[in-house]
Each structure stands twice: as structure tokens, then as C-alpha cells.
Amino acid sequence: MQLPAGFDIEKLNIRFREMFGLPLPENGNDNREVSPSENGTEDEAGSNTPFTPPDPADFGFTLMDAGEFPEEPPMVEGLSPQTMKQWKVVPLSVTPEKVTVAMADPLDLYLREVLSGIFKVRIEPRWAEEEDIVAAVYRWYEADVDLEGTEDEETAELDDSLWDDPEQLRDLASEAPVIRLVNHVISRSLEVKASDIHFEPYRDQLKIRFRIDGVLHDVETVSKRLQPAITSRLKLMAKMNIAEMRLPQDGRIKVREGKREIDIRVSSLPTLFGESIVLRLLNRDEVKLELSSLGLSDDILSNFEKIIQKPYGMVLVTGPTGSGKTTTLYAVMNRINSPDKKIVTVEDPVEYQLDGINQIQVKPDIGLTFASSLRTILRQDPDVVLIGEIRDTETAEIAVQSALTGHLMFSTLHTNDAASAITRLQEMEIESYLLSSCLLAVMAQRLVRRICPHCRTQYPVKPGFIEEISKAMGAEIENPPEFLWKGRGCQACAMTGYSGRTGIYELLLINDEIESLILNETDSGTIAASAQAAGMRTLRQDGILKVLAGETTFEEVMRVTN
Ligand SMILES: [Zn+2]
């Protein structure tokens, strides 16, 4: 590292060590204001010279005017307001390439290194007065603390009466800093393409977390004192009953961001330390309901396309919750939808509205179950029926019957692999001869995170790795790659290294041999082996193809297929 002239490396080293709580060097002087008269006897002569900090102006910096600070703070992770004040720094703006930071001492190279380590991008320092930095930190991140007056820390304990006074809650929720904080969290969640925002109360703090590409990330912790205000603000926005805190509630928020309209489903749940609130962001514009954009490999896509054009029979999609089954089936509906076909769905819940398709929401409390809705639907003579999920014997029976009587039937099941869907239906007491005659195909699927395109980088393949994936593929890999891809982590992907998701698939086609295995009630392992012999790739094998193609990582495929 090249230090500008006039820098005292020892002094910087001490400052660096102090910041990280590291032991100070033996001869180091832990008193930053070096005073020669007191320490002179123990110190070497050199350090008796008082340290004069260099002037940033000599290095081309111009002092920022307080008015140059932006109105709203950028949302950055990794630095608490307290640390910002202690280090006399505050981030001003964030791009995927750099973070611009106001610093009281822009010549502090150690601090710049540290910040660049925290944000994992280049730091562009700007020079600002310490008072202006502290004022900005206060205004942006801490002014909220004053909401409840001038209580000291001892009285941070929540006042019970506050919880019972809706008027006071309403006032609190209307305070500008609270509105700003909530709006800020929502707009940041849209920036990083989070699917859910969790506000989780704990004994002494309120934790805010984002789910991005299926994985939860801590974003912020907020003072417990702000909890009633934030919770009430969210409930007001979602048109929920602000005074009701003992029962779970549901609501909706509509947000407009540019041209996009974002629908947010809000639910509250009372917990030990207050209401936990979850916001689920449904962004209609971003839902890609096309089979070709689901990440199906060419061979699977072409086989699947043939299956879904058949006049009748049953097609099942399996996988755990959140594996993208519904999206796949919606894409199928879009694909086969045409004016000459009547398509009806029974769902719980109806997640997206599809044009030209009759969608029914199950309501068990008024007797509208999957089974009863299905019976009604079949009287209306549909060509294609989608049942959100087969959960019970009754639904399974009606589904099989209608698939046998000229309807194309689609549904989902919670099984780990494709072959287990067959044995699951047999466990639900579906007759094997009926199942073997109606079933066309079963597709198992998982979602894997895609490597972030902004920070995608190659790395050399470790020794033994190719053997490992050859084993999982059950075949030698021809021309094994020397390099694979991963994401380093950048601002664009919230440091995760991943951005967006794609599917991995296992398509089990029912051929004559598998039909007879079903008839003989053979175990799922034998069925899977037979399908593999006929050319089926397992989920993991399909995933490894995507690893080799640089779309995702081996770790990611192992995470979702274990
Ligand atoms: Zn990235």
C-alpha cells in the first residue's frame, strides 16, 4: 500500500487495531493524542514528535457542503449507525461498482480498506465535516428514536397502556421517520428483488429480514421502542385493525413503483414479544408464465410439450413447498389455453389471475373443498382441470376418475422425487389399474439460485471434483471443465453472489414397462431405476448440467436435492 507523505504508519496501525479490538503492539502508544512530556521516558525519541494530520485538501479533496448530502440515505448493510458515528463515515450512494462514502478523514487508507472489505466494492471517499456526518447519521438512521419523547434507556421497556390506545398508535404510525423507514425497507426489498419481508419481534429488538431467491437474510435491527410504531404503520397501510393485536390478521398493500404496480400480501401473527408481520411481494409484471423461461432443458421441454397436448390423462408436478410447482402449472395453462378449450382451476390460494381461465378459490369453512369444488366443476364439462394440490383420498379419487373419463388433469403432490408420487397415490388407496391407465407423466422439480451476472467469476476446478460429479451423474464426463463459475457478491445481489432462480427437473414418462411396474405395485426405487434406464435424468443430474453450464453452483444443487 502506498502511503501519502506525512502519514504515520504506526499511528494508523494502532487506530486499525483499536477499531477491531486487536491487541496493541508492544511499543505502541495507545493514547492517540501523543503527549511527549508524559510518555517521553519510555518512548523512543522518534515518537516524541507530535503527529500533525495531513490536510486532505493537499491531496485533491474538497470539503463537502452539508447541503450536498442526499435527501434519503442509501440502504447499505454491514455498518450500524453507531459504527458510522464512531468511524466518522456515512455512505452517500451505492452502485454495483462503488460505494461513495463521506469521511471526516478521507486520507485514512486503513479505514477505506476496511470499508471496501465490508461493502465488497471500491470505496469512493468524499471529505466532509465530522459534524455534518454525525448529523446525517442522526437524521437518516436515528431521529426515529425520539418518537416516544426523551425517555432514557431505562424506560425503554414498553408501556402497556400504549398498546391499548389505538389513537396513540395511529399518531405514532404517522410520524414522518416511521413512514420513511417503512417505505425505505419496502423500496429496498424491491431493489434486491426480495419475495418477502419479515418484521420479527424479539425481547429487545425488532429484526427485519428479506427473503431473496428463497433464502432469508438479515437486513436491519431496529430499536424495540420503534416496534409499536412500525407494526401499526404496516397494519394501517394494509387496512388491518390497528387495535387488534391478539389475533392473526391478513391485509393487502398496493405500491406503485414507476410503472409497476406491486401487490403486497400482509399477515400479522401475535408472538411472545409482539406481532410478527410478514409482507409477501407479488409482482405481477415479473412473473414469467412461459414454459420456455422455466429453465427446462431442451429434451425435457420437448417431451413435456408433447405430454400436455394430449386429450386426456393425468400429469403431476411434485416437490416441496416453494419449489415452483404452481408457476410450472400456470405456465402449462398459458401454453395450452385456447378459445376452443375450457380450462378450470381449483386452488388454495389463487396466486395469479390467468386470462381466459376459470379459477376457483377453495373455501373449506363454507364447504368448498378441493373435492366438492371438483365435483361441481366436472358437471360444467371442462377440457382441462388444474387441482392446486392432491391432499386427500377423496380428491385423488375424483382426479383419477375424471382423467379416465376424457379430461386432461393437472395437479401437484408433496413428494421428493417423481417415482414417489406413484406410491403416494397408491398409499391414498388409488387402485393401481386405474392409476396405471390414466397417468401420463410425473415431473419433480426444485428451484436453484442463479449465479449473479454482475459478479460472476470463474474459478479453477478442485482436484477430485470431476470424479465427484461423474459419480452423481453415473457417467464419465467428457471434456471435463477446468473452470466453474460462482458469484463473488456485489451490491446488485445484496452480497449473496446469486440473482434470480431457475428450475431443475426430473421428468418421469410412463412407458409400457413402468405401467406394468405400477400395476404390480412395485416400490418407487425400482420405478425410478427403470425410468433412468429409459433415459430419465434425476433432479441432481439435471442440476449438475446447469452447474457445468455456469448457471448455478454445485453447492446450490446439493442444497436443494439433499
Ligand atoms: Zn452480484
Per residue, the 3-state secondary structure of 217-257, as one string, reads EEEEEEEHHHHHHHHHHHHHHCCCCCCCCCCCEEEEEEEEE
Distances (CA, A) of 312 to 307, 407, 468: 10, 5, 42
| Ligand 1 midpoint to CA 207 (Å) | 24
| Ligand 1 midpoint to CA 75 (Å) | 16
User: What confidence score (pLDDT) does residue 29 get?
Assistant: 41
| Ligand 1 midpoint to CA 487 (Å) | 6
| Ligand 1 midpoint to CA 116 (Å) | 15
CA distance 374 to 358: 13
| Ligand 1 midpoint to CA 2 (Å) | 29
- Give the angle subtended at the CA of 528 by the CAs of 527 and 532, to the nearest 5°: 120
Using DSSP, state whether 76 is helix, strand or coil.
coil
Handedness of CA 343, 344, 348, 349 (dihedral sign): positive
| Ligand 1 midpoint to CA 485 (Å) | 12
The pLDDT > 70 percentage for the chain reads: 85
Average pLDDT, integer, range 166-188: 82
E strands within 95-159? 98-103, 122-127
Element (H, E) at 483: strand 483-487
| Ligand 1 midpoint to CA 99 (Å) | 14
Average pLDDT, integer, range 337-360: 84
| Ligand 1 midpoint to CA 96 (Å) | 8
Range of lowest pLDDT (149-163, 164-178, 304-318, 484-498): 149-163
| Ligand 1 midpoint to CA 458 (Å) | 13
| Ligand 1 midpoint to CA 456 (Å) | 7
| Ligand 1 midpoint to CA 86 (Å) | 29
> Which amino acid is it at 87?
W
Distances (CA, A) of 560 to 326, 379, 392, 496, 539: 18, 40, 26, 17, 9
| Ligand 1 midpoint to CA 188 (Å) | 16
CA distance 113 to 3: 13
Q: Of 152, 109, 505, which is closest to residue 332 (Cα–Cα)? A: 505
| Ligand 1 midpoint to CA 247 (Å) | 40
State phi, psi for 280 to the nearest 5 degrees: -110, 120
| Ligand 1 midpoint to CA 554 (Å) | 17
Give the tens place of pLDDT for each residue, 228-261. Answer: 999 999 999 999 998 888 888 889 998 877 777 7
| Ligand 1 midpoint to CA 543 (Å) | 21
Using DSSP, state whether 356 is helix, strand or coil.
coil
| Ligand 1 midpoint to CA 1 (Å) | 27
| Ligand 1 midpoint to CA 499 (Å) | 7
CA distance 461 to 456: 15
Confidence of residue 284 (pLDDT cuts 50, 70, 90): low
CA distance 521 to 81: 63
Pairs from 139-142 (Cβ < 8 Å, separation ≥ 24): 140/72, 140/73, 140/81, 140/90, 141/73, 141/81, 141/84, 142/81
Give the tens place of pLDDT for each residue, 8-53. Answer: 555 555 655 555 445 565 544 444 443 434 444 444 444 444 456 6
| Ligand 1 midpoint to CA 486 (Å) | 10
The answer to whether the CB of 264 falls within 8 A of the CB of 254 is yes
Q: CB-hemisphere CA count at 13 Å for 174?
A: 7
| Ligand 1 midpoint to CA 213 (Å) | 13
Confidence of residue 487 (pLDDT cuts 50, 70, 90): very high
pLDDT at residue 281 is higher than 80: yes
| Ligand 1 midpoint to CA 282 (Å) | 23
The residue with greater pLDDT, 251 or 156, is: 251
| Ligand 1 midpoint to CA 402 (Å) | 48
| Ligand 1 midpoint to CA 8 (Å) | 36
Q: Which residues contact 364 (CB under 8 A, 6 or more apart)?
A: none
Using DSSP, state whether 523 is helix, strand or coil.
coil
**Residue position matching grid coordinates 407423466:** 441
| Ligand 1 midpoint to CA 191 (Å) | 13
- Tally of residues, the chain: 562
| Ligand 1 midpoint to CA 295 (Å) | 20
User: What confidence score (pLDDT) does residue 86 get?
Assistant: 80
Confidence of residue 384 (pLDDT cuts 50, 70, 90): very high
Distances (CA, A) of 214 to 9, 296, 331, 428, 560: 45, 19, 20, 31, 11
Give the tens place of pLDDT for each residue, 101-119. Answer: 999 988 887 788 878 888 8
